[in-house]
Amino acid sequence: MQELMIDLQGGEKAPLYERIYRHIREEIVSGRLERGEKLPSTRLLARNISVSRSTVELAYGQLLAEGYIQAEPCRGFYVCDVRELYRSDRTESRSASGTAEREESPCIVDFSPYLVDTEHFPYNVWRKLSKRVLQDDREELLLAGDGQGEVSLRREIMRYLHRARGVNCRESEIILGAGNEYLEILLAQLLGPGRTLLMENPGYPQAFYTFSGMGYTVAPVPAGTLGSDREAMRTARADLAYVMPSHQFPLGNIMPLGQRAELLKWAMEEEGRYLIEDDHDSEYRYRGKPIPSLQGIDRGGRVIYLGTFSKSIAPSLRISYLVLPPELMERYRQVCGFYTTTVPRVQQEILYEFLAGGHFERHLNRMRGLYRSRHDFLLGELKGRRWVRRVSGEHAGLHLLVEADTALTEQELCARARARGVRISGLGAYDLTGNRENGRPTLLIGYGSLREDEICQGLRILDEIIEQRP
């Protein structure tokens, strides 16, 4: 039985019993009072809200008459099932990729490029580390810690970034935050309002929305032109550029060294210009040497480095980090120093142990092998399929691009796949100009979370759709 909190002191003119009746009715309709729940007795409610018992009896009588509650002799009043009367949105849910979506049919194979493997996560290690962190009733873990994130964790990240990505920084220049979007918001606050940001197109819609949401003018330019078409960059009058030089999303391009140098030169030309390097999934490269970061060759302090553990550990971890050049770091302390990192401290400690104990690099190596074999398997499966016109973006990351030979449009193809239980997206979904139908249908095939049999199953369904078999 729930206690009812009924406010009778508002300025309403309606009689008391009616206000009680309306309140309870609202509770039932909204589902806050659930079917079968017992109402307080008239005597109890009358006492609690300081009205006469007859007033409550009048209210209950009305609810009874209208079928909201029912009386059970000697037991009391119970809430009726009113679901038939009112649709409630209480059971809505969202898909794994975070977008609200009416499910036409259950999802059998999910080719989303954002998914990672969840089967080979070192649960045992993580459990052990969690236990160890929580073991000693360490009281300081409950208190707000360092505003930028714990020093010990930042030091480990600094070391990892230096070793693996050639990033040059101090731990004091690293800021931890819960996810890229949060850090992008922070960055927009730090860099100040009214800026114009160049962004390669197609790209990450989330980043586009986040910066637009912060009032920035985001100017999409064709991927591959940043650092090559100087004139275009000048006419855009931008003072920021968001780039993914080591592995462009979703195309998978690597930015040539000459373009990198041009970009850095552009950034140096005027005060306040910065490059935002999103190094989202550069851990996964299956052929050739790792591509060092742009930050590592920046001598002018113009590169802001953005990294994440979403792809290398798990998206649900919500740990990303910014590396700021010294000048911006100084400004951060003045402008944003009052923010406390959004990453919970226990989580930081566990991640610290995961990095410091060498588990992270072991995990990365294992996953690199696993993803490589899925990548190779998928490539092999695609070969020889008639509708596969061209494969690109291979040898790195967690998805590849397939240009399909079909009379269907990209959106039709994706919709039909979805109706058959295959979640898949086309390149149009990542077009920042909103131009969703653009040339030949191109599919993003993510394999991060899929076993070989699932890859086969998904491709077979695509075969059937494209070859117009039922």
Q: Which of residues 258-287 bind a second copy (CB under 8 A)?
A: 261
Q: Which of 37, 57, 58, 209 binds a second copy (CB under 8 A)?
A: 209
Binding flag, residue 340, a second copy (CB under 8 A): yes
Q: Determine the interface stretch with a second copy among 38-46, 115-123, 238-246, 360-368 (rule: CB under 8 A).
A: 115-123
Q: Which of 346, 370, 429, 456 binds a second copy (CB under 8 A)?
A: 346
Give the shortest CB-384-to-a second copy separation in angstroms: 32
Give the separation between CA 301 and CA 274, rounded to whole angstroms: 9
Q: Which of 345, 399, 416, 423 binds a second copy (CB under 8 A)?
A: 345
Q: Which of 47, 83, 127, 362 binds a second copy (CB under 8 A)?
A: 127
Q: Determine the interface stretch with a second copy among 35-43, 90-98, 358-366, 411-419 (rule: CB under 8 A).
A: 90-98
Binding flag, residue 78, a second copy (CB under 8 A): no
Q: Which of 123, 230, 365, 369 binds a second copy (CB under 8 A)?
A: 123
Q: Which of 58, 64, 130, 228 binds a second copy (CB under 8 A)?
A: 130
Give the shortest CB-464-to-a second copy separation in angstroms: 28
Q: Determine the interface stretch with a second copy among 13-21, 39-47, 342-350, 420-428 (rule: CB under 8 A).
A: 342-350
Structure tokens at 401: 């691009």
Give the H or E element holding residue 369: helix 359-382
Q: Which of 214, 244, 432, 450 binds a second copy (CB under 8 A)?
A: 214
Residues 379-418 that bind a second copy (CB under 8 A): none
Coil vs helix vs strand at 55: helix
Cβ–Cβ under 8 Å, residues 221 and 198:
yes
Coil vs helix vs strand at 374: helix
Give ∠ CA 292-297-299 in degrees, rounded to 5.
Answer: 160
Q: Amino acid letter at 92?
A: E
Contacts of 182 (CB under 8 A, 6+ apart): 320, 342
Give the separation between CA 6 and CA 25, rounded to whole angstroms: 12
Q: Amino acid letter at 26?
A: E
Q: Which is nearer to a second copy, 58 or 317 (CB)?
A: 317
343 phi/psi in degrees, rounded to 5? -95, 125
Size of the site for a second copy (CB under 8 A): 100
Cβ–Cβ under 8 Å, residues 398 and 448:
yes
Q: Could you tell me the CA-to-CA distances from 78 to 34, 39, 48, 59 in Å, in that order? A: 9, 6, 19, 14
Binding flag, residue 215, a second copy (CB under 8 A): yes
Q: Determine the interface stretch with a second copy among 113-121, 243-251, 391-399, 460-468 (rule: CB under 8 A).
A: 113-121
Q: Determine the interface stretch with a second copy among 126-134, 280-288, 391-399, 410-418 (rule: CB under 8 A).
A: 126-134
Cβ–Cβ under 8 Å, residues 80 and 35:
yes
Give the shortest CB-176-to-a second copy separation in angstroms: 11
Give the shortest CB-462-to-a second copy separation in angstroms: 23
Q: Which of 50, 75, 102, 137 binds a second copy (CB under 8 A)?
A: 137
Q: Could you tell me the CA-to-CA distances from 291 to 161, 280, 392 in Å, in that order? A: 13, 13, 18
Q: Could you tell me the CA-to-CA distances from 347 to 152, 253, 311, 318, 353 in Å, in that order? A: 13, 33, 17, 10, 10
Binding flag, residue 15, a second copy (CB under 8 A): no
Residue (of 49, 104, 96) closest to 24 by Cα position: 49
Q: Determine the interface stretch with a second copy among 61-69, 123-131, 232-240, 425-433 (rule: CB under 8 A).
A: 123-131
Binding flag, residue 54, a second copy (CB under 8 A): no
Binding flag, residue 436, a second copy (CB under 8 A): no
Binding flag, residue 344, a second copy (CB under 8 A): yes
Cβ–Cβ under 8 Å, residues 149 and 172:
no
Q: Determine the interface stretch with a second copy among 52-60, 130-138, 246-254, 402-410 (rule: CB under 8 A).
A: 130-138
Beta bridge partners of 306: 278, 322
Contact mark string toward a second copy, 287..316, x via CB under 8 A? -----x---xx-x--------------xxx
Binding flag, residue 29, a second copy (CB under 8 A): no
Coil vs helix vs strand at 201: strand
Q: Which is nearer to a second copy, 31 or 357 (CB)?
A: 31
Beta bridge partners of 197: 218, 240
Give the separation between CA 464 and CA 454, rounded to whole angstroms: 16
Give the shortest CB-183-to-a second copy separation in angstroms: 10
Q: Is 290 left (phi over 0), alpha (psi -120 to 50) or beta?
A: beta
Q: Which of 44, 151, 232, 415 binds a second copy (CB under 8 A)?
A: 151
Rg of the chain taking only CA atoms, in angstroms: 28
Q: Determine the interface stretch with a second copy among 155-163, 218-226, 248-256, 381-389 (rule: CB under 8 A).
A: 155-163
Q: Could you tell me the CA-to-CA distances from 68 to 25, 83, 85, 103, 267 in Å, in that order? A: 7, 11, 10, 32, 67
Binding flag, residue 48, a second copy (CB under 8 A): no
Q: Is 439 left (phi over 0), alpha (psi -120 to 50) or beta?
A: left
